[in-house]
Chains A and B, each alone.
Chain A
Amino acid sequence: REREREREREREFIMIFTFSCNLKMQFMLLFSRQGKLRLQKWYVPLSDKEKKKITRELVQTVLARKPKMCSFLEWRDLKIVYKRYASLYFCCAIEDQDNELITLEIIHRYVELLDKYFGSVCELDIIFNFEKAYFILDEFLLGGEAQETSKKNVLKAIEQADLLQEVSNHILWQCSKNLSDLLGNHIATPQ
């Protein structure tokens, strides 16, 4: 009975612990020094209005930080981890129990993936190829957690998805070409 009671107490403690401990990235934002949002990935359900509000406030807060300050700040009930690479700010919101230092490594890993894929990535690459940037992010993180810790494997998955895309584009092109040939035979002939 003593053990039962102890377990009960432990359970209580663990239950409380559970509610206060969420190891999760809530969202990731990429924005330029001028405050233009380039990428946004949300891992929590929020309305568009809320997302806009959060984005606006957070971008302002991060841009106001001086270079001497550390990469972490408390914002609402979240911890914000941000890092600047050239003209882009990479900004993640993590929950209270998360390890800020490893989040910096996560950001860095994503930058490396982009770099490898685009070859010396710059902001323009992301502006003009944002779907690819999202795709790379989605192969690296899922629900705010890293799904693959090998750089090689992530890039391989993206490579193959690209190939699939190319093939499908080619086939569609083929189809539409055939279709227009067909149509051309009927329409082009003058009456």
Chain B
Amino acid sequence: MPAPIRLRELIRTIRTARTQAEEREMIQKEFIVEFGTNAIHSLSEYNHFYSSMIQPVKSDLNHSTQYVQGLALCTLGCMGSSEMCRDLAGEVEKLLKTSNSYLRKKAALCAVHVIRKVPELMEMFLPATKNLLSEKNHGEILHTSVVLLTEMCERSPDMLSHFRKLVPQLVRILKNLIMSGYSPEHDVSGISDPFLQVRILRLLRILGKGDDDSSEAMNDILAQVATNTETSKNVGNAILYETVLTIMDIKSESGLRVLAINILGRFLLNNDKNIRYVALTSLLKTVQTDHNAVQRHRSTIVDCLKDLDVSIKRRAMELSFALVNGNNIRGMMKELLYFLDSCDPDFKADCASGIFLAAEKYAPSKRWHIDTIMRVLTTAGSYVRDDSVPNLIQLITNSVEMHAYTVQRLYKALLDDISQQPLVQVASWCIGEYGDLLVSGQCEEEEPIQVSEDEVLDVLEGLLVSNLSTPVTRGYSLTAIMKLSTRFSSMNRIKKVVSIYGSSIDVELQQRAVEYNALFKKYDHMRPALLERMPIMEKTATNGPAEIVQTNGETDSTILDTKHLPSITQPASQVGQCNYHICFCFAGIPPMTAYNKNGLKIEFTFERANPNPNIAVITIHATNSTEADMTEFVFQAAVPKQQLRMRVKLTYTHKGSPVQDLAEVNNFPPQSWQ
């Protein structure tokens, strides 16, 4: 470095001063500026003196002493604002071309900062990059040059294409680093300049990505680094890690990719937890693309679930879920359930959701599936996400042969613990739905329990009064009690409960109770139909259960507001206000015939709602073309969330005999749902 010459020069200059005044002047000129820069250095970017700093920094950049220049570059490069960068980019560019390597490397990093702050200025640094990697500058400025080139390539596809031609040069430099003899200056534990190696590997990654030719050109050197790097210390592993990242990102041949994954596999067995951590992180990134290769390390990954470190556990968990498939589901689920039991509360929600998803995809049997759900609900029941409740209900509904078993297990779980709300909600719903199976002891899968109707009602009423129950849970439980009125014989008790809650302080509960009361008093003939068993719900794209739509409008029969139908119209809160309306944009939709059979014709007409025009109101016109009356007519409709179609259930009495029919309405005009 030429610094000593400057320093001596400076001292000589000062000594030439003939008078003290002159001496003082020289010092002032030289050092107050420097102190000024130091002062600037410690100010934060939001200081309003910023714009007045530009001039001092600018003059410092042109100072005769490289230390002052260096300080100025440092100041600018660490926290220069966009304004400063814009004004001083020219000075930085000049210094990037100087022969003084001390300044040149600082200028390079300063340029990186300028580009980050003002990306449009990138072009102006292009000429200066021409010889950055040339041999005569080896060592001194290579590292910062590579950093600058990397920044430019990342920010601009044009720069990226332009610099692709540097690949052979970079490969050569890297090769020299690996092959060269001992260089004590740059050595870290026997490895030459690992910082530079890592930066070159990263730049190669960016240049090779998506480009066949470049990837091929770097293939050999990557294999060489991967096999020859000493792995006994962290520094060697740092280089291997970067190499693996590069191999996985470029278009490498399959042999190289396998080599990379195997390196990660070895990392997993390393005693150093840091190495295990980066291995898991990288495996998580490649598990989709190199699934089979990663599967081979599954048991090691599962072992990491027992690691003491929180970050390692989390990665191991995510990776485990990614590796679950139809073949390993039983074994994996055992490990994951065990993990769920013992893991931190932070993990439980994610783990539970992951287990539900995996179970749904790969369950080997319905019984296994229900058992797994039960296990999750009982061990992590309070951490389960809210949206799991409707999903689980749908699952249970559709597992018809498991109803008796499920309700029995859920009932038993309630006897043990009523604090976990998701568990309690699912259990309440099931008891309301399948309570008849419970008391009649129909369970085949295990020993049926003996329980009376009163005992079941005791449990449900217990939920209503318990402080542990949330308002939502109370809603579930009241509804369940109501549903049992058509399944149990103890109607009086149920009527009493329902009438008591008609004056509940909780408005939700009150409304429900009042409506259920009305069912008992005025619409008792409808009650059986309304409260009967839910049909199998079709899976929609969103995996959510079907919803009951609110039918508006007048008809000549009594259409009941089905809003509080005891089913899964509980807060599927994600959907927001549109739960009970069909929302769509439209203009003039023609009426349609939804159903026409046995003299009963049902037509739908559409209109814009007022005031919200995004909501359509479907008016149902039902006409009876037979001679006899149709009485006790009930129209029920279920609408899946995604597409506009309906499953309709009609019941009425005609000529003295009850008629019941199920139908699907699929012929909604496209304008109604597009």
A interface, CB within 8 angstroms of B? 7, 10-11, 13-15, 17-18, 21, 23-24, 41-43, 45-48, 51, 66, 68-74, 99-102, 104-106, 109, 138, 142-143, 145-153, 156-157, 160-161, 163-164, 167-168, 171-172, 175, 178
Contacts and interface: CB of A to CB of B under 8 A. Distances in A.
Contacts of A172: 27, 31
Contact of A148 (B105, B112, B210): B105
B274 A171 contact: no
A51 to B, nearest CB: 8
A45 B241 contact: no
B246 to A, nearest CB: 11
A102 B44 contact: no
Contacts of B77: 142-143
A74 B198 CA distance: 22
B32 to A, nearest CB: 10
A42 B310 contact: no
Interface in B207-249: 209-210, 234-235, 237-239, 241-242, 245
B572 interface: no
B195 interface: yes
A104 B275 CA distance: 12
B210 A10 contact: yes
Contacts of A74: 311
A161 B154 contact: no
B94 interface: no
Contact of B154 (A17, A109, A152): A17
B179 interface: no
Interface stretch (B186-194, B476-484, B532-540): B186-194
B261 to A, nearest CB: 18
Contact of B238 (A41, A104, A156): A104
Chain B binding surface, main DSSP class: helix
B237 A101 contact: yes
B24 A175 contact: yes
16 contacts: A18-B154, A18-B155, A46-B44, A47-B44, A101-B275, A102-B194, A142-B78, A143-B113, A145-B112, A148-B105, A150-B139, A153-B185, A157-B1, A160-B1, A160-B67, A161-B67
A102 B109 contact: no
A156 B66 CA distance: 14
Interface in B27-57: 27, 30-31, 34, 44-46
Given A105-B234, A164-B67, A45 B195 contact: no
B92 to A, nearest CB: 12
Given A102-B198, A147-B105, A172-B27, A14 B160 contact: yes
A20 B309 CA distance: 27
Interface string B11-26: 1001000001001100
Interface stretch (B142-150, B461-469, B595-603): B142-150
A148 B238 CA distance: 18
A150 B30 CA distance: 29
B61 interface: no
Identify the 10 closest CB pairs spanning chains A and B, nearest first: A101-B238, A45-B45, A70-B273, A142-B109, A150-B185, A102-B238, A143-B77, A149-B195, A11-B157, A143-B113
B79 A43 contact: yes
A161 B74 CA distance: 14
Nearest to B275: A101
Contacts of A21: 154
Contacts of A45: 44-46, 79, 81
B546 to A, nearest CB: 37
B236 to A, nearest CB: 9
B67 to A, nearest CB: 6
Contacts of A101: 234-235, 237-238, 241, 274-275, 278
Contact of A151 (B112, B185, B273, B275): B185
A139 to B, nearest CB: 8
Contact of B11 (A41, A109, A167): A167
- By CB atoms of chain A within 10 A, which of B74, B78, B310 has the most? B78
B273 A69 contact: yes
A175 B17 CA distance: 12
A149 B186 contact: yes
B277 interface: yes
Nearest to A98: B202
B119 to A, nearest CB: 10
Nearest to B187: A151
A105 B160 CA distance: 29
Contact of B309 (A68, A104, A146, A157): A68
B458 to A, nearest CB: 47
B31 A168 contact: yes
A67 B647 CA distance: 61
Contact of B193 (A23, A149, A178): A149
A89 to B, nearest CB: 16
B369 to A, nearest CB: 33
B257 interface: no
A11 B153 CA distance: 12
Contacts of A109: 188, 195
Contact of B274 (A18, A100, A142, A168): A100
Contacts of A100: 274, 277-278
Contacts of A143: 77-78, 109-110, 112-113
Nearest to B35: A168
- By CB atoms of chain B within 10 A, which of A45, A102, A178 has the most? A102
Contact of B27 (A14, A70, A171): A171
Given A42-B79, A143-B110, A164-B7, A106 B195 contact: yes
Given A14-B160, A104-B274, 18 more contacts: A15-B157, A45-B46, A45-B79, A72-B277, A72-B311, A99-B238, A101-B238, A105-B194, A109-B188, A142-B73, A142-B74, A142-B77, A152-B185, A153-B140, A160-B3, A175-B23, A175-B24, A175-B27
